[in-house]
Amino acid sequence: MEQKMILKQNVIFFFLFFLILGGCTHEPVDVSYEIKLANGNFQEAYNNGDAQTLAQNYMEDAKLFPENADVVQGKDAIEEFWAGAIGAGGNRVELETISADKYGNVAIEEGRYKIYAESGQLIGQGKYLVTWDFSTGEWKITKDIWNSSNPAAPVRAMENDSVWVVWNIIKPNKVQQFEDFNFNYLDPAAKEFYPEMRNTVRTLRPVKANDDGTFTYIYLMDPAISSEYSMKLPLAAKYGEEKADEYLKMFEDCLKGGKQQWVVTVQTAW
């Protein structure tokens, strides 16, 4: 009798074991279509500037993990977050579901987003990972994390860092030549071969001519991370020595008097 009870217990144990194992090895179900429909509600509310309706896409205890900010938890806090983020509307978001796999009542979505200004100009893009819950009979977001794919903002000088200000006084008939040099030759070479140095330089274009008809373009080395900002180094690296010399002559030909003017400054606390 005792052996029969042990045998019965073993049978029950193995039955439960394989039942659990079978449940754990179910293949995920593709629910991309359902999640795209749910995202349609999100997009409509966002594009209408309706934070209250947008927040209804989240579970009561949902969490946001926004870029460069603390975690936002709870539907009320999420509504407040989106109210500040989208304002009265005008901007438009597009969500692209790459994949959405369901495991029981939970789905994990991987996607991309784009944000457009009212004018239609693309102003932001990135990727996101969202966890959805179906326990209420409709898909609701439980966790929402995203980050931008736009390049990181350039580094700026901190207190006591060196900042160079360089004046380029351009002849009236050489403005296009100067811009060609900067944006078609120098900038691509610096991006490719000296990106760290290039990211510290800004070029400022004048809005009108000087009294004598010349135009003042300014380079800001902010911060200056080198004792010498050489144009020839990136030009020669990309185009070779001969072409680099040719492009430098092109640059010098644009300058009134053939020379730049500059001043070295130090960043203050303000």
- pLDDT tens string, the chain, 270 residues long: the values are 444 444 444 444 444 444 444 444 468 999 999 999 999 999 999 999 999 999 999 999 999 999 888 999 999 999 999 998 887 567 899 999 999 999 999 999 999 999 998 888 888 899 999 999 999 999 999 999 999 887 766 678 889 999 999 999 999 999 999 999 999 999 999 988 888 888 889 999 999 999 999 999 999 999 988 767 889 999 999 999 999 999 999 999 999 999 999 999 999 988
Coil/strand/helix, residue 211: coil
- Domain end (from 88, 119, 148): 148
Q: Tokens standing for 48?
A: 């209408």
Q: Which domain holds residue 45?
A: 29-148
Same domain, 140 and 173: no
Is 192 strand, coil or helix?
A: helix
Q: Does 54 reside within a domain?
A: yes
CA dihedral 106, 111, 117, 123 (to 10 degrees): 130
Regarding whether 168 and 140 lie in a shared domain, the answer is: no
* Kind of pairing between the strands at 122-133 and 106-116: antiparallel
Q: What's the whole-model pTM score?
A: 0.54
Residue 145 CA to residue 73 CA, distance in Å, equals 12
| Residue 242 tokens, joined | 């001969």
Structural domain contains residue 85: yes
Q: Look at the chain and report how many structural domains it folds into.
A: 2
CA 121 remoteness from chain centre = 15
